[in-house]
Amino acid sequence: LSREATLPSLPADPSPLQTLSRGAILLKAHTTKLSLLATTPPFTPSALITVLKEVEFTCLPILLSNGANISSTEYGITLSREARLRSRATLTELETYLSGLRSGGGDTLTSTGLLWSSCDSLAELAELGIGGLAAKKVEEYSCMVQDAIEELSAWREGGDGANEGRDALLEEFDEAVHGDELGDVFNAENSMPERLAPLVGRVGSVLRKLVLLFRAVGKRRLGVFEGGEISRVEDAVKTVRTLQERVDELVGLLYELEEGEAEELLDKCVKEAKFLSERLESDWDGNRDRFSDWADMWRVKVG
């Protein structure tokens, strides 16, 4: 691997994020060299030591200093925290990889792959930027809400959950002694009570609209952010995360048959989601666009 083929060019005065990305790409290149030197005969310790010194005096200082220098004021809390987390993860994987290399025992393929993955994840931050990372986070929360929708749907329809916890011996005992009686008990305990059907239906409808909102926010607002009010980006991610956590709580209340509390929390979710759509109604230049019109319609539909 040559540096020219691996490393992107940097501006004259690179940002800490660009430098961090370059350090991660360089570390991945050095890891490739180390793996080849360690596994390809003839074994040459001097060449191995040369690459290890490059890692020690180039990659490590970059990861240690720049990982901590991604300012939350300049880059926002989300990106700043993510840079620290991914830097630490990469350093941890590097330590594991080097330990395996020193011991010379076993296959280092797994540790190499994990280190490469960490390097890619760290380097990705410069490409994503503030808006791209925010959009990615919102998409992750959107997927969690989608999982909750599917879980509720399975519960409402009986799903596979009605047979959880049963084994062959219990099935045999059920048929031999009680016929369908024990099966009825299991189904009753794992099925949604009929009285909850309207509420669960409403919850499912609201959650589907939340997923639509999250994805629209990620694509039409956060994903196109190129600078400006970082606080709006941070507030959006925080609100989406809070809503996703409330959805988990809401599903739990439904399982516990707490209709009153569930209805109250659902109304709170709708209110917060409407506020999110209003907060991001204008684009980053303060103008209305297609998303603005869509957000107006979304608020009417969500009720």
pLDDT computed for residue 190 by the predictor: 61
Q: Among residues 32, 26, 34, which one has the least CA distance to residue 66?
A: 26
Burial class (CB in 10 A: 0-12, 13-18, 19+), 283: middle
Q: What is the mean pLDDT of the chain?
A: 86
Query: Residue 44: which pLDDT band, with cuts at 50, 70 and 90?
Result: confident
Q: Among residues 176, 212, 192, 222, which one has the least CA distance to residue 76?
A: 222
pLDDT computed for residue 39 by the predictor: 81
pTM for this model (two decimals): 0.82
